[in-house]
Structure formats: C-alpha cells, structure tokens
Amino acid sequence: MTQNIWGFPSNQSTTFAEALGYKKYVAYITQTGVNPPVYTVLENTLGVDLTWTYDGPGFYHASNPIFLNQTGKVVAFCTLNNSNSFVIQAGLNTGQQLEIVVYDETWNNVDIQGNAVVEFRLYP
C-alpha cells in the first residue's frame, strides 16, 4: 500500500494538523473604539466551538472543558496589526481558559484597536 506525504496510507484522509499530532484554533479578531471585538474563526480542529468573552480593556478569554488539565500542552501564537506600539500575549491562564491580553507601551491594558490573529495549538 502506498503512503501519503505524512506517512499514512494513501486511502486515509488526514489533515496536516492531524499528521503533526495537534489540534488547533485560529481566529482573526477585529475591534474598533470601545465596541466588543469580532472573532472570525479561520480554522478549528479542536472538535468544540469556543465562545469568547470580552472582560474589559485588553482582556479576552474563552473557556471550554477541553482545556482542563492541559497545562503544558497548549501553545499560542499571536500577532497584532495596528498603528500603536501595543504588545499582545496569548496562552492558557491559571483558570484553564484561553486568554489574550493586550498592553500599551506603558504596560496598561488596552483594547486591540485594529486587528489581530491568534493560533492556539493543543498537543496530546
């Protein structure tokens, strides 16, 4: 039997993320003014939907039981696109929630004020 480029049988349908052994969630986030952010899901192989909560300037989180007891298994990548000198960070917080936090140049929490892309990977 022949194999596909990931080493699986060629008659087996396998996504790139499955071949690499992780599940992922990728979203494009936009926010203007004091309006709540808008999340556009670009890819979700987690098998569950995420609902994001805007907790106030610079704080965004999503909860789902899939993240319980996953410390050390979640990796986050994020980028922020705006005209300010803001810093964005993402990860799994101590409450087992996916979290995005945005700071200005003086480390005060601020809203995205533009757009951002985040990717969360959940490893086995």
CA 44 – CA 33 distance, rounded (Å): 28
CA 23 – CA 18 distance, rounded (Å): 7
Rg (the chain; Cα; Å): 17
Neighbours of 24 (CB within 10 A): 20
Burial 44-75 (b: 16+ CB within 10 A, else e): eebeeebebebeeebebbbbeeebeeeeeebe
- Encode pLDDT of 21-34 as tens digits: 889 999 999 998 87
- Encode pLDDT of 40-99 as tens digits: 999 999 989 998 989 889 999 998 888 877 878 889 999 988 777 889 898 888 778 899
